[in-house]
Amino acid sequence: MRNSKKVAVHEFGRRSKAYATSSTLIDQTDLDTVVRLLNLSGNEIVLDVATGTGNLAMTLSPHVKRVVGLDITPGMLEMAVQAAHERGIDNISNHGGDVEHLPFRYSPFNVVTCRFSFHHFPEPLKSISEMARILKTGGKLVIEDIVSSQDQAKSEYQNTMEYLRDPSHIRHYQISELKQMLRDEGLDVLDIVNGGTDFDFNHWIGIADPPAKNVRRIWDMMMDSMDGDLSGLNVRWDDDRLIFRYTTVIMVVIKR
């Protein structure tokens, strides 16, 4: 396992409980939007890549035949298994695995989903290629993630702060970059839904729990970014809270 993957396993293992209660990850309206965009028949077999604590897998489960959850972090999978058991869901199976080497030899899936995880993948093109490989012809891939500004300088500014906060972070891509990577793998974009959500700085930092010296540097960068919106995150004060806005995108693509 390459170093960046070991870092991801370590970071998500120690923070699995914090991520289980993240407002973005458990936002039911957002989860329902993914289900709506897929226009499901009820007969689909779905792979949820980087399933984490299983939020999307559990939301999809009543609408499909079967969901396979895959994650590289054992601590996350344990929570996903427990959550599905507590809800009495019996059509989800969770397994350990790496998106760059998916453990399937043919194309058994009608749908592959990847929600708020793509920015952690060390080799994004290989990851897309693998997700496309195990899709049936006519199958759909959904990638939902935070994206950075189309302004290159702002994009780099945001990504610098992200890496300081979380060493497993690779890159929040620009929408144009995501589109191009998907097209490079021969996938046709069917639908794009743009969104956004405000984050409280202290809550955001608390989820990742970076070293104090990194917190100070991120704070300084946030403060500096207010003049001219250097980060593209619209950093601002709300009473005594420092908040900023993440831009998100849901992309639905099809394998022809």
pLDDT at 255 over 80: yes
Dump pLDDT digits (tens) for 125-138: 999 999 999 999 99
**Is the separation of the CB atoms in 109 and 86 below 8 Å?**
no
pLDDT score at 22: 62
Is residue 42 left, alpha or beta, with left meaning phi > 0 and alpha meaning psi from -120 to 50?
left
pLDDT at 235 over 90: yes
| Pairwise CA distance, residues 155 & 43, whole Å | 40
Contact partners, residue 37, CB within 8 Å, separation at least 6: 142, 191, 193, 250, 252
Mean pLDDT, rounded, of the chain: 93
pLDDT score at 81: 96
Instruction: Specify the CATH number of the domain 3-149+169-198+246-255.
Output: 3.40.50.150
pLDDT score at 168: 94
pLDDT score at 2: 52
**Is the separation of the CB atoms in 242 and 222 below 8 Å?**
yes
Q: What is the mean pLDDT of residues 193-216?
A: 96
Dump pLDDT digits (tens) for 11-68: 555 555 655 666 677 899 999 999 999 999 999 999 999 999 999 999 999 999 999 9
User: Where does the pLDDT of residue 6 fall: very low under 50, low under 70, confident under 90, or very high at 90 and above?
Assistant: low
Q: What is the mean pLDDT of residues 93-120?
A: 95
User: Where does the pLDDT of residue 201 fall: very low under 50, low under 70, confident under 90, or very high at 90 and above?
Assistant: very high
pLDDT score at 10: 58
pTM of the model: 0.92
93 token code pair = 């199976």
pLDDT at 70 over 70: yes
For the chain, what are the domain ranges?
Answer: 3-149+169-198+246-255
